């Protein structure tokens, strides 16, 4: 639960990073949007780690736990309905995509989880996170070129891919046993790290195009990201990935915030 809450905070920081990149950070984030991001992230990560089981004998969750998650889902639904139609469509589409990421097992019917499709897992995760960090802030803009939006989206997409690939390295044996084909299974661990370096470089080049000044302050974050990818392996403890690798999302936000507020004043 603690790791899920941390990931929820990471989602908020990533959204706030997007607001800075789109130049709308002066607009205070909608409280309802922040609450939806937090609760949705907690729910999605909880159920992606433990696929739903409807068979009574397989259910491991306690009644208070189930009650809590039902209440969270109801709050999300209530808040999303009250948002602008664009946000309703956005959260609805991402919610369906995230829910289908893992399998939903009934007594006689089993849906194919999207993550079981070979090599799709890393792209799906990157797409969902990049959407939170770019599409949501973009909806708050009044005048922005779509080409610039695409550049920001791709840059943040490749950033998430760079820090998600170490998770594929961590889960290599587990994914192999589950017959799930991921990048380490195709490229090997060394090849997966090289791919992470490539997409990290693309992310940085995109950031140079978006805002050259921000990119300069961002260099230390890129260097730390490189070394965390380099040192990732099968034996690293979970906190290495959850708090150090995912913590890079916080470092990115702090880098953009410092650039905007204290160094490169507009």
pLDDT in tens, 229-266: 999 998 899 889 999 999 999 999 999 999 988 776 54
For residue 127, the enclosing domain spans 2-263
Residue 107: predicted pLDDT: 42
Q: Could you write out the three-class secondary structure of the chain?
A: CHHHHHHHHHHHHHHHHHHHHCCCCCCCCCHHHHHHHHHHHHHHHHHHHCCCECCHHHCCCCHHHHHHHHHHHHHHHHHHHCCCHHHHHHHHHHHHHHHCCCCCECCCCECCCHHHCCCHHHHHHHHHHHHHHHHHHHCCCCCCCHHHHHHHHHHHHHHHHHHHHHHHHHCHHHHHHCCCCCHHHHHHHHHHHHHHHHHHHHHHHHHHHHCHHHHHHHHHHHHHHHHHHHCCCCCCCHHHHHHHHCCHHHHHHHHHHHHHHHHCCC
Residue 120: predicted pLDDT: 87
Residue 20: predicted pLDDT: 94
The pLDDT of 87-115, averaged and rounded, is: 72
- pLDDT greater than 80 at residue 150: yes
Spatial separation of the C-alpha atoms in residues 71 and 65, rounded to whole Å: 10
Cβ-contact 53, 23 below 8 angstroms: no
Q: Give, to the nearest 10 degrees, the angle between helix 183-210 and helix 212-230.
A: 160
Spatial separation of the C-alpha atoms in residues 104 and 90, rounded to whole Å: 22
Give the pLDDT band (50/70/90) at residue 58. Answer: very low
Instruction: Output the domain CATH number for residue 83.
Output: 1.10.600
Residue 111: predicted pLDDT: 53
- pLDDT greater than 80 at residue 129: yes
Q: For 152-195, how does the pLDDT look when each residue is reduced to its tens digit (9 = 90+)?
A: 999 999 999 999 999 999 988 888 787 788 899 899 999 999 99
How many C-beta neighbours within 10 Å does residue 25 have?
A: 19
Of residues 264 and 88, more confidence is placed in 88
Cβ-contact 6, 242 below 8 angstroms: yes
- pLDDT greater than 60 at residue 66: yes
Cβ-contact 232, 195 below 8 angstroms: no
Of residues 108 and 91, more confidence is placed in 91
Residue 203: predicted pLDDT: 97
Task: Tokens for 251, please give them.
Answer: 């470092």
pTM of structure: 0.89
Matching residue, tokens 């040192």: 231
Mean pLDDT of the chain: 86
Give the pLDDT band (50/70/90) at residue 53. Answer: very low
Paired residues of 198 in beta bridges? none
Task: Tokens for 191, please give them.
Answer: 């090849």
Residue 110: predicted pLDDT: 53
Counted domains in the chain: 1
Of residues 25 and 263, more confidence is placed in 25
Spatial separation of the C-alpha atoms in residues 83 and 92, rounded to whole Å: 12
Spatial separation of the C-alpha atoms in residues 166 and 233, rounded to whole Å: 8
Spatial separation of the C-alpha atoms in residues 33 and 16, rounded to whole Å: 11
Burial class of residue 156, CB neighbours in 10 A (0-12, 13-18, 19+) = buried
Give the pLDDT band (50/70/90) at residue 112. Answer: low
The pLDDT of 112-126, averaged and rounded, is: 82
Of 23-32, 66-75, 189-198, highest mean pLDDT: 189-198
- pLDDT greater than 60 at residue 88: yes
């Amino acid at each position: 639960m603690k790791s899920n809450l941390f990931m929820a905070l990471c989602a908020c920081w990533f959204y706030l990073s997007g607001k800075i990149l789109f130049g709308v950070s002066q607009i205070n984030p909608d409280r309802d949007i922040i609450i939806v991001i937090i609760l949705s992230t907690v729910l999605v990560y909880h159920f992606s780690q433990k696929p739903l089981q409807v068979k009574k004998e397989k259910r491991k969750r306690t009644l208070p736990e189930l009650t809590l998650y039902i209440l969270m889902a109801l709050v999300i639904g209530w808040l999303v309905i009250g948002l602008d139609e664009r946000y309703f469509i956005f959260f609805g589409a991402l919610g369906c995509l995230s829910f289908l990421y893992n399998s939903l097992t009934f007594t006689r019917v089993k849906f194919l989880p999207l993550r079981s499709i070979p090599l799709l897992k890393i792209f799906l995760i990157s797409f969902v996170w990049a959407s939170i960090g770019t599409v949501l802030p973009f909806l708050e803009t009044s005048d922005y070129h779509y080409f610039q939006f695409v550049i920001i989206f791709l840059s943040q997409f490749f950033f998430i891919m760079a820090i998600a690939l170490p998770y594929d390295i961590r889960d290599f044996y587990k994914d192999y046993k589950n017959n799930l084909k991921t990048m380490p299974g195709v490229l090997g661990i060394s090849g997966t790290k090289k791919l992470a370096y490539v997409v990290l470089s693309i992310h940085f080049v995109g950031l140079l195009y978006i805002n050259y000044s921000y990119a300069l302050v961002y260099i230390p974050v890129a260097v730390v990201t490189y070394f965390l990818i380099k040192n990732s392996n099968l034996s690293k403890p979970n906190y290495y990935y959850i708090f150090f690798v995912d913590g890079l999302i916080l470092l990115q936000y702090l880098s953009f915030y410092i650039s905007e507020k204290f160094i490169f004043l507009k």
